[in-house]
Structure 1
């Protein structure tokens, strides 16, 4: 006799994978926005001031 599928377990596994993927995406988005904001602030300080 074949095993009865455990749909509850499968559903929890899918939801856990979905939530993990969502968290990773949010983390990448935060890192990208944080590095973008830092890059904008650092650029002017790295360039030498024009001598007149």
Structure 2
């Protein structure tokens, strides 16, 4: 699944868009009822990649 974090809505109308400020921002992942791999640090979230 691709999620787009960007200020403006995607021109192509695709879904998976999360509005973001036009300047720098931080991403926080909330984990509700995490499994042990999250708690002991053996699981890491997928990397965020910047595209043009």
Same fold at TM > 0.5 = no
TM-score with structure 2 length normalisation? 0.16
The structure whose residues are more often helix, as a share, is 1
Q: Which has the higher contact order (CA 8 A, sep 6+)?
A: 2
The structure whose residues are more often strand, as a share, is 2
